[in-house]
Chains A and B, each alone.
Chain A
Amino acid sequence: MSESTKDSVLAAVLIALGAGALVVLAHTRSGGTNVADVVGFATLPRLYASLLIGLGGLLAATSLVKRLREARGQSAVHRIRSPLADPTVLVRTFGSIVLLVLYVLGLQQFAFFPVTAIFLAVMFFLYGRGPIWRVVLVAVIGAAALDVVFIRIIDLPLH
């Protein structure tokens, strides 16, 4: 996906976000604010949402201009390789957030120590750490230390 296409997508998201905010505000009831107030509960949020729509439009326009210039070969741009073009980086980046989601879900159901040890070990493998014995050792010791500090001493009520 080219840069200008990504900017166009972002612009569309911003416009949708702004429009959605305006729709939600239109259906929001006031909480008893003095109707004589010039700036009510929805004034500034509406202003921000409208600005967001305008800025999204501006971003769409600039990305369109950029795309037209690129098509005509007029733009002098410095192209560098996206880090996400590397499959390993792609897997690590998205894998991190997926594993984090699974970790949080796991914490809600199971005890801290085993969930954290497994999370750390899998993350180390994802990041290409090795050898296996070192990964397991660091994961177990790390999880144990965190368990002692946050569960035994600080007493975080994770369950």
Chain B
Amino acid sequence: MINGLLSGFAGCLEPYNLLMLFGGTALGLVVGALPGLSSPMAIIVLLPLTYSFAPLPALLSMMGVYVGTKLGGSFSAILLRTPGTPAGACTALDGYPMTLRGEAGLALGYSTVGATIGGLFGWLIAVTCVPLVSAIAMKSSNADIALVGVLGLVMVTAFIRASMLRGIIGVVLGLLIATVGLDPIGGAERFTFGHYQLLSGIPFAAVMVGLFGVAVVMTDAPMIGTVSELLTSEVKLRLPGLRDLASRWQAILIGALYGVGIGAVPGIGAEASPWMAYGTVRSRSKHPELFGTGVPEGVLAPEASASGTTGGTMVPMLTLGIPGDSSTAIMLGALILHGVIPGVTLMRDHGDVVWGILAGLLIATIFMFLIAWKTIPWFVRILANDRGWLFPFVLVLATLGAFASSGDYFPVWVAVAFGAIGWIFEARGIPVVTVVLGVILGPIIEQNTRIGLALAQNHWSTFVATWPRLGLVACILGLVAWEIWRSVFRPVVRPVIATSTVEGGTL
């Protein structure tokens, strides 16, 4: 492990790779700070730029963006009360009141330090767990991997913040989309309709570009023309003292633990963990009534949590090929584009890339701290810009990204189609991340199920033949039972969108 990590650092510290990390992190901070832009969108627009790069620098630039957006979202949350990322919404609860008190610099300092410590904690967990889980995964049989894939899908429908029915619809649609192309075992043509471009399936990169590039521009069209008013433009980041931080260690630790734990669960990402961390820290506080009035713990916990997810998501992504969130789903697509096949053999076949990504995670976290510490006034100016100038460029870059994936226009049309489809899904409450996970895990589940059955002479009992498999099946059935109980006894109430103005009525 030490040798692998050292070689990872050696790779990252090459000047070109270091530049990619630095540039990616700076871009991530900018993107995270701007409401309406997201980490998946920024990673998508990097696809065409990095297509000709070697795998490691390409992934390092995306890693930098991924890490940078975690902190960037808090800048607008604290200064504008408009979070740049969904995870930053929690930071606004106490960060903005601190700004109102004239403590904007200190609030930004707490968020920067909280995010850095959370990111470092997440890195430690990732570096420890990735080799361990990878070693276990390498010894897994096809039946084990198939069950892990099914568990991943069940988890995303269980924990997603949407109705269970719509979550399952998204997953099933993704699974069906993934069956397009040649049958991986027998070679039958499924849903190709005679088009050779569909023989290898619907282009994954194009699907990502459509869902996270084009669809987001369409979904965020109502926000064009709105520029939140900066409460203050005179901001200088003020780092809290060591004693101050030490006295609030519990908030940071709770946040980081939530971040790493939730980050490792497929499909949930960083959105839920800051709120869970905030709620726990508030309930454990001696003065919970002060939360929401500008308490530093209310900034430290969610920021540590949001950044901690970067380490958590690395564990399933690098060991099993299962993404923890939308950004890592796109990074998996980038790996495939560069000829690096994710999955249980990634550590064995491309250990240099894995260790490079892990080393890059640490360096990006350090860059995030340094860039935020020294360049906050620049970000304040950027926050005044309207996304109406940025979205057209996003569409151009998304088009080029889809084209670059295979060098012809078919993926571009796929991206446009999935852009429209993604917009419809979001409008109807079907989370696109469920579709993405279905697309990614579908082939893994199918291939391993069929091979596992073939090896067991078509006996289905192979899926419960060992204690680990029994445990996985028990988890799957338990989650399904919990989902059914939740939907019957605690249904999610979605707001009803009416075409007329507010008609009254309450939730």
Contact = CB atoms under 8 A, between A and B. Distances in A.
Contacts of A89: 221-222
A104 B453 contact: no
A32 B186 contact: yes
Given A48-B172, A96-B217, A104-B416, A81 B392 contact: no
A25 B188 CA distance: 11
Nearest to B392: A123
Interface in A14-38: 14, 17, 21, 24-25, 28-34, 36-38
B403 interface: yes
Nearest to B505: A77
A3 B507 contact: no
B388 A2 contact: no
B234 interface: no
B183 A127 contact: no
A158 B218 contact: no
Given A37-B453, A49-B176, A59-B165, A31 B416 contact: no
Interface residues of B, number: 72
Contacts of A149: 49
A154 B186 contact: no
By DSSP majority rule, is chain A's interface helix, strand, loop, or mixed?
helix
Given A6-B428, A128-B388, A82 B497 contact: yes
Interface stretch (B307-315, B316-324, B405-413): B405-413
Contact of B186 (A33, A58, A86, A97): A33
Interface string A36-62: 111111101100110110010011001
Interface stretch (B92-100, B273-281, B393-401): B393-401
A49 B221 CA distance: 33
Contacts of A29: 188
Interface string A71-108: 00000111111111110010011001100110110011
A17 B421 CA distance: 14
A41 B183 CA distance: 6
B399 to A, nearest CB: 6
A142 B400 CA distance: 14
Given A39-B450, A158-B403, A78 B409 contact: no
Contacts of B496: 3, 77-80
Contact of B399 (A82, A100, A123, A128): A100
A28 B188 contact: yes
B190 interface: yes
A110 interface: no
Contacts of B173: 52
A135 B205 CA distance: 31
Most chain B CB within 10 A, of A10, A36, A120, is at A10
Nearest to A80: B495
Given A30-B186, A45-B190, A128-B224, A96 B395 contact: yes
Contacts of B458: 36-38
B2 interface: no
Nearest to B215: A97
B183 A123 contact: no
B131 interface: no
A82 B183 CA distance: 42
A120 B185 CA distance: 46
B298 to A, nearest CB: 27
A127 B224 contact: yes
B214 interface: yes
Most chain A CB within 10 A, of B182, B423, B497, is at B497
A154 to B, nearest CB: 6
A30 B169 CA distance: 27
Contact of B507 (A37, A76, A96): A76
A83 B182 CA distance: 41
B246 interface: no
A40 B186 contact: yes
B144 interface: no
Nearest to A3: B496
B176 A52 contact: yes
Most chain B CB within 10 A, of A17, A80, A127, A128, is at A127
6 contacts: A79-B505, A89-B222, A92-B224, A104-B412, A120-B393, A127-B225
Interface of A: 1-3, 6-7, 10, 14, 17, 21, 24-25, 28-34, 36-42, 44-45, 48-49, 51-52, 55, 58-59, 62, 76-86, 89, 92-93, 96-97, 100-101, 103-104, 107-108, 116, 119-120, 123-124, 127-129, 138, 142, 146, 149-150, 154, 156-158
Closest 6 CB pairs of A and B: A33-B186, A31-B187, A123-B392, A31-B188, A127-B388, A83-B222
